[in-house]
Amino acid sequence: MDKAYLIQLAASTAAVSVLVGLAAWAKIARPVGPLNLARAQELLSEEFPGRSLDQVWVATDGAGALARSGGMALVLCRVGDGFAARQIPWAQAVSSSFRNGRLRIDLSDISAPVATISLPSWPPKDLAA
C-alpha cells in the first residue's frame, strides 16, 4: 500500500468521525417515543400484514414488543430510531432466558441476532391456552 493511499484513508477516516459527531450533536434522529399498545399493534401489523395478534406484550421501557400469533412469536425491537421485526416459534420465545426483568430472545438471524425486551415477568401467567 502506498503512502498517498494511506494518507487519503486517514483523512477520510477523520472526515467520517467529524460527520458522525456532527450527526450526533444535531439531534435530528426521528422522534421515537416509547411504544404503547396501539403503536405496537400498528407496527406489528405493518411488519406482519394479515397476521392475527392473539396477545401483545409491550416492553416496560417501550423499546419493543412481543406478540403471539398462533404458533409463532412476533418480535419487535428498537434499533436506533427505528424498529426491526422477526418471528420465531412461540415455544422458543416462551423458553427464552428471563433475568432481572429482561427477556433475551435469540432470533437466530445473522442480521438480527438477539432482541432484549423488558417485561415484568416471563413467561406470562395470563397465557391464553
Partner 1 sequence: MKDFNPVQLATPIFIVTIILEIVLARLGKAKANYEARDTAVSLGMGLFSGAAGLLTAGLVVASTLWVYEHRLFEIPMTAIWAWAAIFLLEDLTYYWFHRLSHERRFWWAAHVNHHTSQHYNLSTALRQTWTGGVAGTWALWLPLAFLGFPPAMIAIQKGISLVYQYWIHTEAIRRMPKWFEAVFNTPSHHRVHHARNPRYLDSNYAGILIIWDRLFGTFQPELDEEPCRYGTVKNLATFNILRVAFHEWIGMAADVVRHPRHALGYIFGRPGWSHDGSRDTSVTLKAAWRQQQARAAPEPEAGT
Q: Between vectors from CA 97 to CA 120 and to CA 106, what angle results, nearest 5°?
A: 115
- Which of 34, 42, 81, 121 lies at the binding interface for partner 1 (CB under 8 A)? 81
Q: Is 110 a binder of partner 1 (CB under 8 A)?
A: yes
Q: Using the rule CB under 8 A, give the single segment among 33-41, 45-53, 66-74, 118-126 that binds partner 1.
A: 45-53
* 8 Å CB contact between 116 and 102: yes
DSSP assignment of 26-85: HT-SPP-PPP-HHHHHHHHHHHSTT---SEEEE-TTSSEEEEEETTEEEEEEEETTEEEE
Q: Is 26 a binder of partner 1 (CB under 8 A)?
A: yes
Q: Is 71 a binder of partner 1 (CB under 8 A)?
A: no
- Which of 30, 99, 100, 126 lies at the binding interface for partner 1 (CB under 8 A)? 30
Binding positions for partner 1, rule: CB under 8 A: 9, 12-13, 15-16, 19-20, 22-24, 26-30, 46, 49-50, 77, 79-86, 107, 109-113, 115
